């Protein structure tokens, strides 16, 4: 009663159905995973926002000042003095010790280029 072609076609149909089912199932699983990830991302973003707010609350100058006042004596904190600000080029040159000069001479970097001829 069944011809070969019928059997082949039924086979193809069953295979197609099975494939469709598996694809659909996979897609469903993927979608669920995506949704889960999206929820996670949203939670993370909200947490980040909250932590940012926490951070700015904890680093408020007003709070830091309160802490400084409380631990001032313990930590020996003092107010910054305008005299303490300077650029690097306004600092005086470090006085050279005799070791600096000999070390520089040994390395071939003469600190003083003056040559007299009498002394090498």
Query: Which stretches of the chain bind other proteins, using CB under 8 A?
Result: 46-47, 49-50, 52-53, 56-57, 59-62, 65, 79-80, 82-83, 85-87, 90, 92, 95
Identity of the residue, 6 or 69, whose beta carbon is nearer to other proteins in the bound complex: 69
Tokens coding 53: 């707010």
Sign of the Cα pseudo-torsion (103, 109, 114, 116, in order): positive
Identity of the residue, 25 or 52, whose beta carbon is nearer to other proteins in the bound complex: 52
User: What is the nearest approach in angstroms of other proteins to the Cβ of residue 37?
Assistant: 16
Number of helices (H) and strands (E), helices first, in the chain? 3, 0
How far is residue 44 from each of residues 3, 34, 36, 88, measured CA to CA in Å?
Answer: 61, 15, 12, 44
Beta-carbon contacts of residue 100 (< 8 Å; ≥ 6 apart)? 111
Task: Judge contact between 111 and 105, C-beta under 8 A.
Answer: yes
User: What is the nearest approach in angstroms of other proteins to the Cβ of residue 113?
Assistant: 25
User: What is the nearest approach in angstroms of other proteins to the Cβ of residue 85?
Assistant: 5
Identity of the residue, 82 or 108, whose beta carbon is nearer to other proteins in the bound complex: 82
Identity of the residue, 22 or 60, whose beta carbon is nearer to other proteins in the bound complex: 60
User: What is the nearest approach in angstroms of other proteins to the Cβ of residue 73?
Assistant: 20
């Amino acid at each position: 009663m069944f011809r070969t072609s019928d059997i082949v076609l039924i086979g193809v149909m069953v295979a197609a159905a099975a494939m469709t089912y598996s694809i659909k199932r996979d897609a469903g699983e993927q979608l669920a995973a995506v949704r889960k990830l999206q929820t996670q991302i949203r939670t993370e973003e909200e947490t980040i926002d909250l932590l940012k707010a926490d951070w700015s609350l904890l680093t408020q100058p007003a709070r830091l000042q309160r802490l400084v006042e409380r631990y001032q004596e313990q930590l020996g904190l003092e107010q910054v003095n305008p005299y303490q600000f300077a650029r690097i080029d306004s600092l005086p040159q470090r006085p050279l010790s005799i070791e600096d000069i000999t070390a520089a001479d040994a390395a071939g970097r003469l600190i003083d280029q003056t040559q007299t001829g009498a002394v090498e």
